[in-house]
Structure 1
Amino acid sequence: MGKESDGSKPGSGPRSRQTSDAYKHRLKRMRDQGLKPPIARHGGDKTKTTPQFALDCGWGRLVFSQTFEDSGAMIAALRGEQPDRRDIAVYVRNPHVLLANAPQELFLDPSHTYRLDLSRYRASRKRPKGYFIRRLTSQADAEAINRIYAARGMVTVPPEFFWAKRDARTIIYFVAEDEKTGEVLGTVTGVDHMRAFEDPERGSSLWCLAVDPSARHPGIGEALVRRLAEYFTTRGAAFLDLSVLHDNEQAIALYEKLGFQRVSFFSVKRKNPINETLFTGPADDQALNPYARILVNEARRRGIHVEVVDAEGGFFRLTHGGRSVLCRESLSELTSAVAMSICDDKSVTRRIVSAAGVRVPEQLADGASPDEISEFVRRCGKVVVKPARGEQGRGISVGLSELDEVEKAIAAARQVSDTILLEEYVEGEDLRLIVINFRVVAAAVRRPPVVVGDGERTIRELIAAQSRRRKAATGGESRIPLDEETERTVRDAGYGLDDVLDPEVHVAVRKTANLHTGGTIHDVTDIVDPVLVEAAIEAARAIDIPVTGIDLMVKSPSRPDYAFIEANERPGLANHEPQPTAERFIDLLFPLSVPASVKRIR
């Protein structure tokens, strides 16, 4: 699921005619106990005291409008929003009046509110497989939640905030943990309105539901929602509310499946940079793929003019001051035709970077005799066959040890390129390093797609289901092809496509980790070894290319052993969030647009 595709930053609560009376009773109790009333607000000769409750959630505040007596007080509260945070006024009684009083500052959030009647909720008999749901318990959990937030384009939270709230009674955090790896796969936040502001309607709300885009297990979002609903049911809550963007059809379908019903409550937010796409209206870039859109969005945030030239092909023109640059995704006019031609031919790439001192695997050029091929396979043990020209993993066969398999792979590779290469197979992980302006901006391990058995479905059916999830998580960019390479990989693992896998049995269904063929991406920027960083920079300098994705085969991203595989002249920068790949790309094109705060850091 994409940003907010799991209902990220949803939420909220009820209104009641009895609310004002309830707060009067609350104030009376506080005075009787010698406590200070929440907020005193003076107007004319009269003094009114109201709770004016706003809950800090780390990413911003929830401003509960039913605790405010007039729009002026709410506007004043929203003006207290901190930088890089997203405050949300929920349950706004008269949004048209509120907006009329601050039209330049506020906007009506284009989200629907959904409510689950907890008295009618029924728990599922189906238990999660391969993962379990638990409460946040450690600082590592907090860091993992932020990693997922960043991957989903959500506002991150200071880790110490999560940890400080781990035992709070108002805010509750649940995470989904992989049973085998211990990795946090998803998260959800709940707010108890009764604990927060003594809500007379006994409400609760769901916020920040997010699942790791690389998670393989199905149903994580549903399991998190159910766990939160069951938690609040035991706490005596009457309902669970959430809000979801009006066009997020996938998330809406999930909520309606669980019994949520739409209710007519409204939310209001401030016009800040985080919310920009929600109040500026639709742009002309909806047809762009994710790799072009991430760059277009970053350009617009800086006031750079964007002209979409050809959305289907990913072409756009950026103009700032007197400078105009035509781009195709991360490929721009700054990349020379010579650099492109070097990257286009893998045999040339290998020679160029090898001459610069970068380690490369042994290779057999096209035109070798059958005896030479046989000797090469025998000497290497396993080989890789790939087209000299091509991208997105097409025509590549990995880990071949039998001569007849090599011959079939050569024939398949020739359908992609007239020239093919045989290369020594290097064991390890596939590491992609993004180099922009000869600096490594991001590093990620790319892993081949794996299916997990459930004792019911065939491998073919599991692959189809995994493909649907990868397609949804990547905007249609990733899927697992049911081709000869997939069949051979499954056969090498000792299975057939129509075999039923036992529960929790893991089987890799491709040997290449390319995103377009179902691979997953895992950020390792913070732990990559300096030797690998230097190798990537040296390769980029040898090719003389300003933006590139350098692929290395490594034992571990934190160890110096590597072998250069290839260089990509048009790397997918959207694959490396939360690293600032789009920001550094725009910095390269328009240095004068770099924010002053970033310039000071540098």
Structure 2
Amino acid sequence: MTTSPGHRRDRGYSHRLRRMREQGVKPLRGNERASPYQNDGSGVSVDCGWGNLHFAQTFENPKALAERMRKEGPGRRDIGFYVREPHVALAAAPQELFLDPSHTYRLDLSTYRASRRKLQGFTVRRMTNEEDAEAVNRIYAARHMVTVRPDFFWHRKDRALIYLIAEDNATGAVVGTVTGVDHMRAFDDPERGASLWCLAVDPQARHPGIGEALVRRLAEVFQARGNAYLDLSVLHDNDQAIALYEKLGFYQIPVYALKRKNPINERLFAGPGPESGLNPYARLIVDEARRRGIDVEVVDAEGGFFRLTYGGRSMLCRESLSEMTSAVAMSICDDKAVTRRMVERAGIRVPAELETDDPKDVTDFLKEHERIVIKPARGEQGRGVAVGLSADDDVDGAIERAKQISDRVLVEEFVEGDDLRLIVIDYRLVAAAVRRAARISGDGRSTVRQLIERLSRRRAAATGGESKIPFDEETNRALKEAGYGLDDVVEEGHEIPVRRTANLHTGGTIHDVTDHVHPTLVDAAIKAARAIEIPVVGIDLIVKSHLGPDYVFIEANERPGLANHEPQPTAERFIDLLFPLSIPHAARQASRTEPEEPCPA
């Protein structure tokens, strides 16, 4: 007589369950919640905040595991881990579960050896306060991970979960995080296991080795506790992460993970859609459109073109540039001199400017302002822009490089300050961020060239290949000003700028300040958008501080990168603008009570 896989008792599961029961694992009864794990006699589940981690080896049979996973709550990502016969568990709920396309890796803690390398520019420590928790959620959101309810970190009563963070020594900002689960403390695991989850590094982090340091510190914590191994699950195509784990001594084991089919996991079980070839700026908008049931047609993935259709209304877009932006508004933004004149007439403060490529005119202008900016009248992504030029610099060379981008050259007074980008959609502020130029940090061993190459690789990985540091005249000029050449070794802990402009495409980083930007700066950005009559725009200001009212206008970008401002709701507001009827009814009703141009707190 043959027993179907869905009902056959798994001897491996039964043996492990019996061994656990012999060691005293007992079910919780009623509303008992002494710890975040659930054990109703059929298996152990640990609540990790983002979802439940179900230990498949503790369940009586695969069907019991499937039944537990079907109870996943909304907005959560449960994981069935240590599944050795996934085909049997899938047979119990084939329409609801899927096999996670991830590999399981293991580190043998009995042979692991800690690194003697000193951390450069950051410290790894335990999470200690609410600010740490909020920073961790910010990193989760930036990495498209499920965020954790803030109070979860403080109301858990067991010691099975470990939260480590990496803190920037100079700024105090949290730049990385990792979570560990101690299986011995969770359910008296006879195998003395532990697992690693939610390793995430801030995309704007400037120091190398943060991810490696977090993994090593977690391994050392579990090694000191007497755990036998540290396991983790990593997507099969995450080559960068896999290379790190294998470098540290992790090796692949034949253990699998199950997940439930839900909107969070859709990419994993539905396969790549037509939008998979789009760049991050277009994909962010397309993903939001699909969530609302808006039809998406990718017109040209390489160029970032797509068409959105909803309720008889159709919009052709190129990233954040849509048919709602007129050709006139686009041409105004394309010509920086015209943009300046338009916003100046609207009462926006602008720097002194001269349109010329005559070296004598530039010399006279330089004498008046001491330091200047030379840039092409047309162009984007910081190409051909030279910032902070003085009489000692190659001004003629800067003019020639600008002329390679545009036949007209602009000369501006240089204004010292922070580069502030404000995203205005439908004449309301949606996001604000300070952009900082690329900087390298020395380790006492590596040359400037090696440090730049490493930073450039990290920025490219964090932005889907959109951000890289070029080896050009501007990089050489920034290094010369700092007193370094490409082959010089930078002393340990010393930082030097390698670009003068904060453009993201040349390695700059972006730091959200939406909740703190001064109302005067918001007002200037909205006035500039109205002067140009453009519904979606990125306004660039130079400010002494985003907390104060002082500014000068630099330029307007008609196709701002909305993905750079996550987790602010840039894509949501963009789709609201294009398809207002796609906004949920309750949200539309609430918005009618708001003032047309709300000022931030």
TM-score, normalised to structure 2, is 0.91
2:492 pairs with 1:492: no
Query: Are the aligned partners of 1:37 and 1:49 in contact in 2 as well (CA < 8 Å)?
Result: no
2:260 pairs with 1:285: no
Q: What is the CA deviation profile of residues 101-142 of structure 1, one whole-angstrom value per residue up to 9, with x for unaligned ones?
A: 323322221111111111121222222222121111121111
Inter-partner Cα distance in structure 2 for 1:306 and 1:37: 48
2:17 pairs with 1:20: yes
Match of 2:298 among 295, 304, 308: 308
CA RMSD of aligned residues (A): 2.1
The equivalent of 1:381 in structure 2 is 370
SS at match of 1:413: helix
C-alpha displacement of 1:97: 3.2
The equivalent of 2:90 in structure 1 is 99
Q: Following superposition of structure 1 onto structure 2, how do residues 372-451 of structure 1 map, counting pairs within 5 Å?
A: 372-402=361-391, 405-451=394-440
The equivalent of 2:530 in structure 1 is 541
The equivalent of 1:253 in structure 2 is 243
2:350 pairs with 1:350: no
Q: What is the CA deviation profile of residues 511-543 of structure 1, one whole-angstrom value per residue up to 9, with x for unaligned ones?
A: 100011111111111111111111111111111
Query: Are the aligned partners of 2:106 and 2:230 in contact in 1 as well (CA < 8 Å)?
Result: yes
Match of 1:200 among 175, 190, 195: 190
Match of 1:455 among 422, 439, 444: 444
Q: Decide which moves more: 546-555 or 86-95.
A: 86-95
C-alpha displacement of 1:168: 4.1
Inter-partner Cα distance in structure 1 for 2:236 and 2:348: 51
Match of 2:144 among 145, 153, 158: 153
Query: Are the aligned partners of 2:105 and 2:251 in contact in 1 as well (CA < 8 Å)?
Result: yes
The equivalent of 1:3 in structure 2 is none
Query: Are the aligned partners of 1:38 and 1:52 in contact in 2 as well (CA < 8 Å)?
Result: no
Count of aligned residue pairs for this structure pair:
574
2:78 pairs with 1:50: no
C-alpha displacement of 1:427: 0.8
Query: Are the aligned partners of 2:297 and 2:306 in contact in 1 as well (CA < 8 Å)?
Result: yes
Query: Are the aligned partners of 1:553 and 1:563 in contact in 2 as well (CA < 8 Å)?
Result: yes
SS at match of 1:525: coil
Question: Cα distance 1:288–1:130, how it changes in 2: closer, same or farther (>3 A)?
Answer: same
Query: Are the aligned partners of 2:29 and 2:40 in contact in 1 as well (CA < 8 Å)?
Result: no
Inter-partner Cα distance in structure 2 for 1:49 and 1:567: 59
Question: Cα distance 1:600–1:145, how it changes in 2: closer, same or farther (>3 A)?
Answer: farther
Inter-partner Cα distance in structure 1 for 2:469 and 2:29: 62
SS at match of 1:286: helix
Inter-partner Cα distance in structure 1 for 2:542 and 2:186: 52
Q: Decide which moves more: 255-264 or 440-449.
A: 255-264
Match of 1:63 among 32, 54, 60: 54
Inter-partner Cα distance in structure 2 for 1:38 and 1:564: 60
2:250 pairs with 1:242: no
Q: Following superposition of structure 1 onto structure 2, how do residues 359-370 of structure 1 map, counting pairs within 5 Å?
A: 359-366=349-356, 370=359
The equivalent of 1:133 in structure 2 is 124
The equivalent of 1:517 in structure 2 is 506
SS at match of 1:50: coil
2:294 pairs with 1:297: no
Q: What is the CA deviation profile of residues 9-45 of structure 1, one whole-angstrom value per residue up to 9, with x for unaligned ones?
A: xxxxxx7664222333255x869xxx85999xxxxxx
Match of 1:321 among 294, 311, 319: 311
Question: Cα distance 1:404–1:195, how it changes in 2: closer, same or farther (>3 A)?
Answer: closer
Q: Following superposition of structure 1 onto structure 2, how do residues 558-573 of structure 1 map, counting pairs within 5 Å?
A: 558-573=547-562
Query: Are the aligned partners of 1:380 and 1:425 in contact in 2 as well (CA < 8 Å)?
Result: yes
Query: Are the aligned partners of 1:437 and 1:588 in contact in 2 as well (CA < 8 Å)?
Result: yes
SS at match of 1:482: coil
SS at match of 2:218: helix
Query: Are the aligned partners of 1:383 and 1:424 in contact in 2 as well (CA < 8 Å)?
Result: yes
Structure 2: which amino acid aligns with 1:129? Q
Question: Cα distance 1:465–1:20, how it changes in 2: closer, same or farther (>3 A)?
Answer: closer
Q: Decide which moves more: 552-561 or 277-286.
A: 277-286
Match of 1:502 among 449, 473, 491: 491
Q: Following superposition of structure 1 onto structure 2, how do residues 543-558 of structure 1 map, counting pairs within 5 Å?
A: 543-558=532-547
SS at match of 1:99: helix
2:73 pairs with 1:82: yes
Inter-partner Cα distance in structure 1 for 2:457 and 2:126: 29
Q: What is the CA deviation profile of residues 181-225 of structure 1, one whole-angstrom value per residue up to 9, with x for unaligned ones?
A: 222111100001111111111111000000111112111111111
2:581 pairs with 1:584: no
Inter-partner Cα distance in structure 2 for 1:484 and 1:247: 36
Inter-partner Cα distance in structure 2 for 1:493 and 1:258: 35
SS at match of 1:394: coil
C-alpha displacement of 1:552: 0.6
SS at match of 2:162: strand
Q: Which has the higher contact order (CA 8 A, sep 6+)?
A: 1
Inter-partner Cα distance in structure 1 for 2:246 and 2:360: 63
Question: Cα distance 1:283–1:447, how it changes in 2: closer, same or farther (>3 A)?
Answer: same
Query: Are the aligned partners of 1:16 and 1:201 in contact in 2 as well (CA < 8 Å)?
Result: no
Question: Cα distance 1:404–1:56, how it changes in 2: closer, same or farther (>3 A)?
Answer: closer
The equivalent of 2:104 in structure 1 is 113
Structure 2: which amino acid aligns with 1:309? V
Q: Decide which moves more: 94-103 or 472-481.
A: 94-103
Question: Cα distance 1:376–1:98, how it changes in 2: closer, same or farther (>3 A)?
Answer: same
2:159 pairs with 1:162: no
TM-score, normalised to structure 1, is 0.91
Where does the alignment leave 5 or more consecutive residues of structure 1 unmatched? Answer: 1-14, 40-47
Question: Cα distance 1:595–1:73, how it changes in 2: closer, same or farther (>3 A)?
Answer: farther
Inter-partner Cα distance in structure 2 for 1:127 and 1:527: 35
C-alpha displacement of 1:381: 2.0
C-alpha displacement of 1:244: 0.7
Inter-partner Cα distance in structure 1 for 2:589 and 2:71: 26
Inter-partner Cα distance in structure 1 for 2:40 and 2:499: 65
Question: Cα distance 1:371–1:522, how it changes in 2: closer, same or farther (>3 A)?
Answer: same
SS at match of 2:348: coil
Inter-partner Cα distance in structure 1 for 2:13 and 2:231: 15
Structure 1: which amino acid aligns with 2:474? E
The equivalent of 2:36 in structure 1 is none
Query: Are the aligned partners of 1:206 and 1:241 in contact in 2 as well (CA < 8 Å)?
Result: yes
